[in-house]
Amino acid sequence: MPPASNKIPAARSFELRHLRYFCALVDEKNFERAAARLGIAQPGLSQQIMALETIVGSPLIDRSRRSVQLTQSGEVLYREALKILAQTDAAMVAVKRAGRGEIGQVSIGYVASAAYSGIVFETIRTFRAEYPDVAVNLTEMELRMQLSRISEGLLDMGFIRWPAPMPPGLTSLIVKREPLVAVLNEAHALANCSTLRLDALKGETFLTPRQPADIGFHRTTLEACRSAGFEPDINAHALDFTEIASRVAIELGVALVPKSMNAVGLPGTRYVDISGIPTTSDVALAFRKSEPSLAAKSFVALCRRAA
């Protein structure tokens, strides 16, 4: 067996530990103090510095002096090492923040009526205050398209009007409940009432958005009228709630809408509170059950806390 050699093995490139050892030595200007700061033995530090010199192919320390003095190569390496270590530390901080869902981006859809409720922008303001480095991309989108895009991974989540059947892999969380109000033409016999019972509108044509009967406000209207003891005559041809209010204004029917929709306030319409029914209009957040995005998980967690 050949005798052991004290020769430092050659290496193709240095490691971050070499740079940290070197910078500590330059900062402390003394091998003993630098070794104590690093928590290693002084001979070990000396060996690591010699290994670094072998890697770069140039002396880094002027060993003719009693205190640590850098050669020209050492000065260059020290400046560059500080940059590398700072960048590495910043990268580690960024990675850890990403792992906590503090950076990244979330894409969110919303239906217009959810925006009128205030919950969309209230939630996003709170989220941005807590996670200022997460970019939020917000897009208005009708309910069924939102659910489709969330399922396909093209959208992280969406604010929708409940009820809505969730596609496989999706779930939802109620984030706001609103009372229903009746929208009447200003000439309607009940337009000046402070409140009315829903069964007083039996026989009227109820206007709803253009939706299947099992989702959104079409279903909410059906359930509310049935709970009041009658089957409504529904005209489901409006594009959105603004168009519904416009149709009410020209006496094409009446409508049930979330109370926040009185902000539309079109001339020729009146919004009247409804008594005697427990039905509400709920805003829900729809999202994937298995969400890979940590930033999206943080948004859902915030909504859960606020719900």
Question: Whole-angstrom Cα distance, residue 120 to residue 283?
Answer: 9
- The reply to whether CATH 1.10.10.10 applies to domain 16-98 is yes
Structure tokens belonging to residue 30:
């003394």
pLDDT in tens, 48-96: 999 999 999 999 998 877 778 899 998 999 999 889 988 888 888 878 7
Question: Whole-angstrom Cα distance, residue 307 to residue 299?
Answer: 12
Q: Where in the chain is the domain with CATH 3.40.190.10?
A: 104-171+288-306, 176-282
Q: In degrees rounded to 5, what are phi and psi of residue 234?
A: -105, 130
- The reply to whether CATH 3.40.190.10 applies to domain 176-282 is yes
* pLDDT for position 239: 82
Structure tokens belonging to residue 102:
């503090």
Question: Whole-angstrom Cα distance, residue 198 to residue 277?
Answer: 8
pLDDT in tens, 140-187: 998 889 999 999 999 999 999 988 889 999 999 999 999 999 999 999
57 Rama sector, left if φ>0, alpha if ψ -120 to 50, beta otherwise: left
Question: Whole-angstrom Cα distance, residue 205 to residue 291?
Answer: 42
Whose tokens are 């509400």? That residue is: 280
* pLDDT for position 12: 61
User: Beta-carbon neighbour count of residue 242 at 10 Å?
Assistant: 15
* pLDDT for position 64: 73
Closest-CA residue to 238 (of 211, 267, 202): 211
Question: Whole-angstrom Cα distance, residue 147 to residue 166?
Answer: 8
Contact call for residues 169 and 289 (beta carbons, < 8 A): yes
Residues 100-124: what's their mean pLDDT?
Answer: 90
Question: Whole-angstrom Cα distance, residue 203 to residue 124?
Answer: 41
Q: Is the sign of the CA dihedral 188, 192, 197, 198 positive or negative? A: positive
Closest-CA residue to 220 (of 150, 160, 286): 160
DSSP calls for 101-167 = T-EEEEEEEE-HHHHHHSHHHHHHHHHHHH-TEEEEEEEE--HHHHHHHHHHTS-SEEEEEEP-PPP
Q: Where in the chain is the domain with CATH 1.10.10.10?
A: 16-98
Closest-CA residue to 161 (of 115, 206, 104, 123): 115
Q: Enter the pTM of the model.
A: 0.69
108 - beta bridge partners?
138, 157
* pLDDT for position 268: 93
104-171+288-306 maps to which CATH number? 3.40.190.10
> How far is C-alpha 206 from the chain's CA centre?
37
